[in-house]
Structure 1
Amino acid sequence: MTSTETSRPHPHLRAERDGSLLTLTLDNPDRRNSQTPSLWRALAAVGESLDPAVRVVIVRAEGASFSAGLDRAMLTPQGAPGEVNVLGLAARGEEPLAEAIEGFQRGFAIWSQVPAVTIAAVQGHAIGAGFQLALACDLRVVADDVQLAMRETSLGLVPDLAGTSPLVRLVGYARALEICATGRFVYAEEAVRAGLASIAVPGDELDAAARDLAEALLGAPEAALRELKPLLQSAVHATPGEQQRSEREAQARLLTAMVRGGGKQA
C-alpha cells in the first residue's frame, strides 16, 4: 500500500500524491476558487516537474464551485495584491501584455502535454478560466449541478487561456462560437451530450467517479496508455497518411518492447 504525500505548490493549490495518481485541488472555496497568475505559475511548475511515474492526474476543487474564473480584482486599476497588474501591462502596449499572457497560458497548456492522462472533476460554476482549466484536461467528469460558461466576451474580451482549441475540437466551431459569444451556461446534460464531459453524476459522487475513472486508467498497461494519448491527439490535425505512420510507429515500439521483455508489457 502506498502512502499519500501532500504538498502546497501555492496557498490555494493542494497536491496529493498516491503512488501513480496525483490529485491537484483548487483550495480557495471562500472565493469560489477564483484564479490568479501566481496560481497559473504554480500549475505550470507542477506540470513541468511532474514525476514520470505519475500516470494519472485528477484536477478537482474544494467547495461548491470548481472555479468562478479570473479574480476580478485583476481587471481593476489597483490589481490583485501580489499579482501581475494586467491593466498596467496593457497600458504599456500589446507586446508586453501578450508576453505575459503566454506565461499564463502555460498553466493550462501543460496538462495536454504531460504523458499522464488528466481528469477534471468539475462541480458547480466553472466559468472563464475555470472552464478553460477543465478543458485543459484530457477527460472531464461533472457533477449534475455543473454550470460551464465562457464569459470573457461579455467583458469585451476573448478566452485566452488555451481553451479555444479544445473547445472547438470537442463541440465544433459553430457551437463553440455560440457558447463563447453568448456566455450562456452549459449544464450537465448538454455537457455530456456535446462531448464536453464523459459522465455526469450527483455531486456527492463526483470524487468517487473521478477516482473510479483514474483507477480504470491505471489498470491499463502503462506503455500502451503513454503511446495512446499522443497518438489520439495527433489524429485531430494529421492527414490520414501521417496518422497511419504514427499508428505503425507506436505499435512497432510497443511490440518490440513486448518481445524484448519476454511478452510482458509494462
Structure 2
Amino acid sequence: MTTHIPDADRTAWEQAGVRLDLDGELAVVTLCDPKRRNAQTPAMWRALAAIGRALPGTVRVALLQAEGSSFSAGLDRAMFTPEGIPGETGFLQLAASTDAELDEAIASYQEAFTWWRRADLVSVAAVQGHAVGAGFQLALACDLRVVAEDVQFAMKETSLGLVPDLTGTKPLTDLVGYARALEICATGRRVGAEEAVATGLANVAVPADELAAAARDLAAALLSAPRSAVIETKALLQGAGGRSYDQQRAAERQAQARRLRDLAGM
C-alpha cells in the first residue's frame, strides 16, 4: 500500500478510534474501538473529518466499517457529565457559550459526516449490531448501506431531550419519508434489518459473518464502471429531488452530452 499520509496522522486517528487503509481506488475507514462499542467523541469526529480531507484524489469508493459486535453505540455519554471527557469541551459548557460559538462547535462536529456524499466518490457503510444516535447518523451519511441481519438502528436524541444534529435528518427523510422519519426519531424505537431493507434504509441485509464480504463485493461493483459515468449519474440522482420532471430531463441531456463528447475525445 502506497500513501502520502504521514504515520503520525494515522497514529493520532487510531488513538481517536478510527483507522484508514488505502487499497488503490478504495479507501476503508474502520471504527476501531470495539471495547467501547465504537462510542463517538469529538476526537473521533475530528479524525473522521481529517480523513475526508486527506483522501487521495484517486479514491473512488469509501467503505465505512466497524470492529466488534456494534457499529457504533452513539455518542460517548461522558460528554453530558460535569466531568466530561479530558481535553474536550463538554455539552454543559457548550450550552453556556454564545450562539455563534455553539453554532461553530456543532458545525465542526458535522464535518465528520458531510464528506461521505461528495460528488467524486461513492460511500458504503457496512453496519452490524447497534447503530444508535450518532452511529445511525454516521451510517446515514454514506450513499449506500449494507447491513447485518442483527442490525439495530435507533435515533435516541429526541428521547434524551435533544435533536439529531449530525446531518442525519435529511437522508433519513429522503429515504423513508417524513411520517416514518418523524416516528423513528420521536419514539427512538429500534429499526431492524428487515424493516431497514423494506423502507430503503439499507440496500441489502446479510448474515453477520457475510457482512464484510458483501460490502467488499458492492465496492468492487461500484469500481467496475467508468469513474466519470458514476460521477455524472450520482449528480443526476442527487439533484433529482430538487428538479421538476422537465428540469431533470434537461439535466440528463446535458450530462449525456458531456459523456458522449468525453468518450469521443472531443
TM class by shorter-chain length?
A: over 0.9
Distance 1:41 1:245, change over 3 A: farther
Partner of 1:56: 61
Q: Assess if the C-alpha contact under 8 Å between 1:136 and 1:162 holds in 2.
A: yes
Partner of 2:25: 20
In the alignment, structure 1 residue 105 sits paired with structure 2 residue 110:
yes
User: SS in structure 2 opposite 1:133?
Assistant: helix
Q: Assess if the C-alpha contact under 8 Å between 2:119 and 2:234 holds in 1.
A: no
Q: Assess if the C-alpha contact under 8 Å between 2:80 and 2:92 holds in 1.
A: yes
Runs of 4+ in 1 over 3 A off after TM superposition: 3-9
1:253 paired residue among 253, 258, 262:
258
Superimposed CA distance per residue, residues 233-262 of structure 1 (whole angstroms, 9 cap, x where no aligned partner) = 00122222332232122111111010017x
Percent sequence identity over matched residues?
60
Question: CA RMSD of the aligned region, Å?
Answer: 1.5
Superimposed CA distance per residue, residues 174-226 of structure 1 (whole angstroms, 9 cap, x where no aligned partner) = 00000000000000000000000011011110000000000111111111011
Partner Cα separation in structure 2 for residue 4 and residue 185 of structure 1: 41
In the alignment, structure 1 residue 208 sits paired with structure 2 residue 213:
yes
Q: Which runs of structure 2 are paired with 1:1-266 in the superposition (5 Å)?
A: 3=1, 7-8=10-11, 10=13, 11=15, 12-260=17-265
Q: Assess if the C-alpha contact under 8 Å between 2:34 and 2:68 holds in 1.
A: yes
Number of equivalences: 259
Structure 1 unmatched ranges of 5 or more? 262-266
Deviation at 1:114, TM superposition (A): 4.6
TM (norm. structure 1) is 0.93
Q: Assess if the C-alpha contact under 8 Å between 2:119 and 2:235 holds in 1.
A: no
Partner Cα separation in structure 2 for residue 4 and residue 74 of structure 1: 37
Q: Assess if the C-alpha contact under 8 Å between 1:9 and 1:46 holds in 2.
A: no
**Greater mean deviation of Cα atoms: 129-138 or 250-259:** 250-259
Partner Cα separation in structure 2 for residue 116 and residue 190 of structure 1: 27
Structure 2 unmatched ranges of 5 or more? none
Deviation at 1:63, TM superposition (A): 0.3
Partner Cα separation in structure 1 for residue 89 and residue 260 of structure 2: 49
